[in-house]
Every structure is written in C-alpha cells, then in structure tokens.
Amino acid sequence: MITISEVGPRDGVQSLDFIVDIEVKKRWITAEAAAGVPEIEVGSFVNYKRLPQMQDTTALVKHALTLPGLAVAVLVPNLRGAQAAVEARAHKLSIPVSASETHSLRNVNRSHAQMIDEVAAIRALVDDLPTEARPSIEVGIATAFGCTIEGHVPQSTVTDLAERLMEAGADEVGLSDTTGYADPKMIRDRVRAVQTAIGARHITGVHLHNTRGLGLANALAALECGITTLDASLGGLGGCPFAPGASGNIVTEDLVYMLEAMGHSTGIDLPSLIAARKDLAEALTAARSDAPVYGFLADAGLPLHYTPPERAAQ
C-alpha cells in the first residue's frame, strides 16, 4: 500500500494570490477523504500576516477531525505553531527545516541551529502530553536537492542535518524537492544516503515538485528505494513563495493513476478523486478566471480498460 498525503489545502493554497474561501476548502477536504485519501495536510500554523491564506487553519483542523479515518496533518515552523497545533489536536506535525540556510532564513527566519532548537522544544512539548494525545513529528528537509538561492546543496549537508534532527527528537525525516531540481538519480542517491545515516524506518516519505517535468519519474525512483508515502496536490497546485521559481507539486490524481495502473494499491477511488478535482477547479476559476490548475488525467479521462488493483485481484 502506498500512502498518498494530500498537501493542496496547505502547500497548494499558500502560493495563490487570492484567498480561497474556507467553505471551498472544507468541501475539498471532505471530498478527498471520501475518495479514500488517508492523510491531508489541511493548513499551517504560521504568521498569518505573512501567509493570510492560512488564517483558517484551526477551523479546518476541527472540520477534518470529524472525517472518519482521516489523518490530519499541519505544518508548524516553530514552537508557537506547534502549541497551536497541539491545542487544535492535529494528528501530525510537519516541521520545515531547509538544507539551504539562506532559504531557511527567508522561509522561517531561523538558522539551522535555531531550527534544531525548535525541533527539540517541540519534542518536549509533545512528550508532556498523554501518550494517546501525542501527534507524530515529521521534519521535512526542504531544498534537499538544491536551492534557487544558494544553488547546489551538498548531499553531506542533507545527511548531517537528518542525523541532527533525529537526535533533536523527530520521529521521522522526509526529503523535499522544494525547488524542483531533483532527478531520479539524485532521488535514489539522497534517499539511500539518508536511509544509511538514520535508518530506513525513519525516512518513509518525500515531497516532490513537478517544476521541470520530472515529478512522476522522481516518485518512481523514490518507490524503488522503499519510500511508501508520497506528497501530492490536487490539480498540481503549489510551490514555495519563499523560493523563487519553485512551482507546482506533483498532481495527486495523475500520481494515483500511475500507481494504480502499475498495480500499487493506494486505497483511493479515482473517479471520486477526479470529481473532487473538477469541483475544486470550478471553485477556483469562479474566484479567479486564470486560477492555475494542472494535470492530464482529468482532461484525458481513464482508459476504457482501467481496473483498480483491488478489483483486478478478484
């Protein structure tokens, strides 16, 4: 089973130059959960003056927690954000720590050393909670494959940072291709290097962008290394507003189709997912006629012979 983590309501929305209505987001999250998407990053607890699109995150967490079986994730850049996420009872905290220190300063206004301290403080916060109430802590190493500000990011920087983050208290580390610089060989090399450094069980996911058209190829390379969780965004929305030129996450519906067509089970009903994408596209274009929505499957449709792996096995 491959876990698809939908990041559109957070990463997809944050780069838009208009505010998406909360009711649109609620319908979006509800529709994806109903389609079988197991995990959704519904928002981030950040400074809303910098990212006003995230001002409804608390309400979205509350809504998402009513959806049966859904793992509710949020991004938290610091201890203050983690405190808000814990109060809201999110299931998973995703902490962005950039391998590029320049990007880290622009993205979260903190150096590597300061972010290590933040992770340790968040670990202490979580450990003070009752065991059953503790969210998991995943640290996403942003710009793990290169930075549009610094350029090349050495592999050793990524592995060293992964080790320090685990020592600080992360449950697991993920690698993020924030700038869309990665290629399949780089994915294999860096995932395997981090697996060697911290243990394969502590790196199960990657966050990929399709900026240069290699998103799905990179996803396959990650699967070859044993990665079991892939981030994606419905309609390919997204990109980091603090990394110039970093556009587009891999498209959720296209990714699910590729995996299911290859025989990998995701537990997601594709027709329902495509319908959710259609509704989202209509809502976004109603708000802004040129709203960016990407992907191929929704336009081309499923092949006549398409059979989900679960049905093919019967």
Q: Domain holding 170: CATH number?
A: 3.20.20.70
Name, in order, each residue with C-beta under 8 angstroms of 56's C-beta and a sequence gap of 6 or more: 22, 25, 43
The pLDDT score that the predictor gives to residue 257 is 96
Asked if 240 is an active-site residue, the reply is yes
Provide the number of structural domains found in the chain. Answer: 1
Segment 217-243 shows an average pLDDT of 88
The pLDDT score that the predictor gives to residue 310 is 62
Phi, psi of 98 (to 5 degrees): -80, 135
**Distance separating alpha carbons of residues 122 and 137, to the nearest angstrom:** 8
User: Against a cut of 0.85, is the pTM above it?
Assistant: yes
The pLDDT score that the predictor gives to residue 307 is 79
Average pLDDT along the chain? 92
93-123 residue pLDDT tens: 999 999 988 887 777 778 888 999 999 999 9
198-213 residue pLDDT tens: 999 999 999 999 989 9
Longest pairwise C-alpha distance within the chain: 54
85: containing domain: 3-312
291-308 residue pLDDT tens: 888 899 999 999 988 877
- Among candidate residues 115, 240, 255, 259, the one labeled active-site is 240
C-alpha distance from residue 108 to each of 103, 114, 126, 241 (Å)? 8, 10, 21, 12
Name, in order, each residue with C-beta under 8 angstroms of 272's C-beta and a sequence gap of 6 or more: 31, 34, 35, 36
Tokens of 14: 């944050």
**Distance separating alpha carbons of residues 263 and 145, to the nearest angstrom:** 29
**Distance separating alpha carbons of residues 166 and 25, to the nearest angstrom:** 33
What pLDDT band is residue 125 in, cutting at 50, 70 and 90?
Answer: very high
